[in-house]
Amino acid sequence: MFDVTKIRADFPILSRKVNGQDLVYFDNAATSQTPLQVIDVITDYYCRLNANIHRGVHKLSQEATDAYEGARKTIQTHFNAAHSHEIILTAGTTESINLIASGYSSLLQNGDELLVSALEHHSNIVPWQMLCERTGAKLKVIPMTQEGTLDMSAYESLLNSKTRLVFVNHVSNALGTVNPIEEIITKAHAVDAKVLIDGAQACPHIKPDVQELDVDYYVTSAHKICGPTGVGMLYGKETLLNKLPPYQGGGEMISTVTFEKTTYADLPHKFEAGTPNIAGGIAFGAALDYMNNIGFETIASYEEELLAYATNKLREIPGLKIFGEAAKKTAVISFNIDGIHPYDIGSILDQLGIAVRTGHHCAQPIMDYYQIPGTVRASFAFYNTKEEIDRLDAGIRKAIEMLQ
Ligand SMILES: *Cc1c(COP(=O)(O)O)cnc(C)c1O
């Protein structure tokens, strides 16, 4: 079945040393590591295919176009979108959200309401604040609870006929909470509001079905799913994407251009101005293939095992408090130690070769809610092991000894 030693051999970086120690990489929620199967695709692209896409008559351009459009199909199949032109390839989650927020500038009116959740990453807050400044729409916040979940009854009372858009992450990057997006979507649709789901933190662990969810927009980044940085996607329902104006103007996104009038290309090209990250897009497809070969159920059940193991161990450490204790969470542990700044713990762990994240994790409102400056976050992937968690446990204990 699942052989983690064999999996780890796919990731060259996992065998490097940091500060003289074997690397323990527990910053997967910030970016995941890249397997050879994906690195090889990038190398192969530059060794064999490198050419601009969609425009050349020559062989290289055709092969590069086929590979890029093939990746779009792979992404479509993975998310079960009805059409491949509903998959817009972007620079990542941040750009995907900005694309939608920018498009709604001309679709909103003063007095319209937008709902954001208290659990969001800054990239799912700031573009909407900017949109509100442009349009006079109002941003309202779905509050969170002490366990790090969303207050769903407050959500229901915030929804009304003025609500135009709801944006929530599928999984919180700071706490690991899996949000009840099915319910969020159904309730929003009941008042005719559209929903954007930020899937950046969910996609490494969960395989979403956009048609079954009936979600309006779903966005993610490749670099958290074993793919390269600087590439990601926006899924949108065809009818909605057709109503949105283009995001950027330039080559590729036009049908005809004269100085009097320009007409735009059809989906998906309308939203893909300029030369894209071609190798990145192809590698995004390869990363999904790699993950699907292992299987998302296998990944999820192994990671659950890691999470339970780590939670039980870390809970035994005196003075350690875990933030985010939702019943449904991914393999993320956000914690603090009484009287010690998260940064100091992180620095000592780094000395021991253990990579964790410290700080507000681009989710300052969550830290404000708990009235803390930040947390230490250990986030696990399917290539991590229990032995590595033992090293984290020992490392935290050592840090406490040194700092107290
Ligand atoms: C990482 C992350 C983002 C930002 O993704 P980028 O790749 O930096 O654009 C947004 N939301 C969540 C929940 C994330 O985890």
Give the model confidence (pLDDT) of 148-165 as tens digits.
999 999 999 999 999 999
Cβ–ligand 1 distance for 375 under 6 Å, the answer: no
- Give CA–CA dist 363/374, Å, rounded: 9
Cβ–ligand 1 distance for 92 under 6 Å, the answer: yes
Q: Whose CA is nearest to atom 5 of ligand 1?
A: 93
Pocket test for ligand 1, best of 90, 94, 97, 217 (most atoms within 8 A of CB): 94
Cβ–ligand 1 distance for 169 under 6 Å, the answer: yes
- Give CA–CA dist 388/24, Å, rounded: 6
Q: Which ranges in 9-58 belong to alpha helices (H)?
A: 36-44
Q: Which ranges in 228-295 belong to alpha helices (H)?
A: 238-243, 278-294
CB-based contact 318:107 (threshold 8 Å): no
pTM of the model: 0.98
Residues of the chain where predicted confidence (pLDDT) is lower than 70: none
Q: How far is the CA of 404 from the centre of ligand 1 (A)?
A: 34
Q: Which residue has the tokens 């479509």?
A: 76
- Name the pairing type of β-strands 87-90 and 232-236: antiparallel
Q: For position 268, what pLDDT does the model report? A: 97
Q: For position 53, what pLDDT does the model report? A: 96
- Give CA–CA dist 237/217, Å, rounded: 7
Cβ–ligand 1 distance for 93 under 6 Å, the answer: yes
Beta bridge partners of 355: 25
Q: For position 55, what pLDDT does the model report? A: 81
Cβ–ligand 1 distance for 221 under 6 Å, the answer: yes
Q: Which atom of ligand 1 is nearest to the CA of 201?
A: 15
Q: Which atom of ligand 1 is nearest to the CA of 224?
A: 1
- Give CA–CA dist 235/2, Å, rounded: 31
Distance of CA 195 to the CA centre of its chain: 16
Q: Which atom of ligand 1 is nearest to the CA of 30?
A: 1
Cβ–ligand 1 distance for 123 under 6 Å, the answer: yes
Cβ–ligand 1 distance for 358 under 6 Å, the answer: no
Is 132 tagged catalytic?
no
Q: How far is the CA of 21 from the centre of ligand 1 (A)?
A: 29
The CATH code of domain 4-30+296-403 reads 3.90.1150.10
- Give CA–CA dist 206/292, Å, rounded: 11
User: Smallest Cα–Cα separation from 164: which of 131, 201, 122?
Assistant: 131
- Give CA–CA dist 41/32, Å, rounded: 17
Cβ–ligand 1 distance for 330 under 6 Å, the answer: no
Pocket test for ligand 1, best of 98, 119, 123 (most atoms within 8 A of CB): 123
> Length of the chain in residues, anyone?
404
Q: What is the DSSP string of 180-240?
A: -HHHHHHHHHHTT-EEEEE-TTTTTT----HHHHT-SEEEEEGGGTTS-SS-EEEEE-HHH
CB-based contact 193:185 (threshold 8 Å): no
User: What's the CATH class of domain 39-293?
Assistant: alpha beta
Cβ–ligand 1 distance for 200 under 6 Å, the answer: yes
Q: Of 47, 203, 226, 362, which is the active-site residue? A: 362
| Dihedral sign, Cα of residue 96, residue 102, residue 103, residue 104 | positive
Q: How far is the CA of 379 from the centre of ligand 1 (A)?
A: 14
Q: How far is the CA of 93 from the centre of ligand 1 (A)?
A: 6
- Give CA–CA dist 274/276, Å, rounded: 6
Q: pLDDT of 354-382, one tens digit each?
A: 999 999 999 999 999 999 999 999 999 99
DSSP helix/strand/coil, 3: coil
Beta bridge partners of 357: 377
Q: For position 315, what pLDDT does the model report? A: 98
**Domains in the chain: boundaries:** 4-30+296-403, 39-293
- Give CA–CA dist 234/284, Å, rounded: 13
